[in-house]
Amino acid sequence: MRGNGVATIQFVQPTGSTLYAVGSVTEAIIQANGASTLLSVNPYDRAEFTIDSSGTVTQVQSVSPTGTVATVTPNSHTTFTQLAPGFVQETVTYGSHASYVVFSEGSGSGGIYTEVAHGSGSTVDLVGLQAQLAHLPASVGALV
């Protein structure tokens, strides 16, 4: 999964072999269907968030592809906001320009959030984004 495309690769083990071969590949594109925030999964941009009972993000940790965790100290240009349970928005503002990244916590992610959208501005169509996420195959949707 990367962006709004999903590739499913099925591996098979040929008879008498200890190696596996690609048996089939299917690809699907998740349509925006009018959403103003487009699905764009980046499986390499992951984080863990500590969120208090009022919904305030109190700590951010970046998670590398190898699982190494590093604490992120936001500067005066960066804010983290819980949009809804399981969704956190990072907004970076310089002067009059703002950009955002939305992270989603999948049900099988172990508390790790994955980038699922990014763009200019600071307004996110969460309902539209959630509708796109609902079209992901279950094996991918559990992670994002």
pLDDT of residue 9: 86
Answer whether 35's CB lies under 8 Å from 129's CB.
Answer: yes
Answer whether 135's CB lies under 8 Å from 129's CB.
Answer: no
Tell me the pLDDT tens digit for each residue of 16-44: 888 999 998 888 788 888 899 999 988 89
pLDDT of residue 60: 97
Query: Strand 69-72 vs strand 78-84: parallel, antiparallel, or unpaired?
Result: unpaired
Global model pTM greater than 0.75: yes
